[in-house]
């Protein structure tokens, strides 16, 4: 199960180690170049991605953990889009994210994302995933373009795509979190 870069990692595991995977649940763009990837970006898509990258790259390290957490909040709020933003939930997530790893610098995460993007090739690996796959996306995701979201579902044969209205790339909202948990449980019980 993975969201964002975790969704790419989930795809990679399903491709490289299919015998270790029963099913996958993802929210991420495709781990390979799909036909949708080759379509030039529209002006609106460029504007959205530029604004997103500008915000991501503007975040500064804080002088301490609390300040660093505060510096993440504008990004999480932006990625939460129109759904009411639970700031305490976002702070808890960020604190966990920053303290559970030896990597205290989010810029390394961004470098890893860039490495993933630069290594994406045109393959047919997603078609080889023969496990049940649940793909969950928000229709207002400013990080993964809607056409890339759909291309994951189009590429994986046993996939089910659920698009959640008004959801962005993150879901710092307890009601939405509960709704997603129900979707996950229903999916896992059906396989």
| Rounded-to-10 torsion of CA 99, 114, 79, 151 | -130
Which SS3 state, helix, strand or coil, does residue 174 take? helix
Mean pLDDT to the nearest integer, 131-156? 89
Domain count, the chain: 1
Three-state secondary-structure class, residue 3: strand
Which residue range(s) make up the domain with 133?
2-190
Give the integer Cα–Cα distance in Å for 49 and 96. Answer: 27
Q: CATH number for the domain including 166?
A: 3.40.50.1820
Q: Which tens digit of pLDDT belongs to each residue from 76-121?
A: 999 999 899 999 999 999 998 888 866 555 555 566 666 666 667 7
pLDDT at 112: 62
Indicate the range of 24-33, 63-72, 111-120, 152-161 predicted with least confidence.
Answer: 111-120
């Amino acid at each position: 199960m993975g969201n964002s870069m975790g969704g790419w990692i989930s795809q990679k595991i399903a491709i490289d180690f299919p015998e270790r995977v029963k099913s996958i649940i993802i929210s991420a763009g495709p781990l390979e170049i799909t036909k949708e990837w080759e379509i030039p970006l529209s002006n609106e898509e460029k504007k959205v991605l530029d604004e997103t990258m500008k915000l991501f790259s503007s975040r500064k390290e804080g002088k301490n953990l609390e300040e660093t957490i505060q510096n993440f909040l504008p990004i999480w709020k932006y990625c939460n889009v129109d759904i009411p933003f639970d700031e305490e939930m976002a702070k808890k997530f960020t604190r966990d994210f920053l303290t559970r790893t030896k990597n205290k610098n989010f810029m390394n995460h961004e470098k890893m994302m860039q490495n993933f993007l630069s290594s994406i090739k045109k393959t047919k690996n997603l078609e080889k995933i023969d496990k049940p796959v649940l793909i969950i996306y928000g229709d207002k995701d400013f990080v993964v373009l809607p056409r890339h979201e759909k291309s994951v579902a189009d590429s994986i044969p046993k996939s089910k795509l659920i698009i959640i209205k008004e959801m962005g790339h993150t879901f710092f909202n307890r009601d939405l979190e509960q709704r997603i948990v129900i979707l996950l449980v229903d999916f896992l019980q059906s396989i």
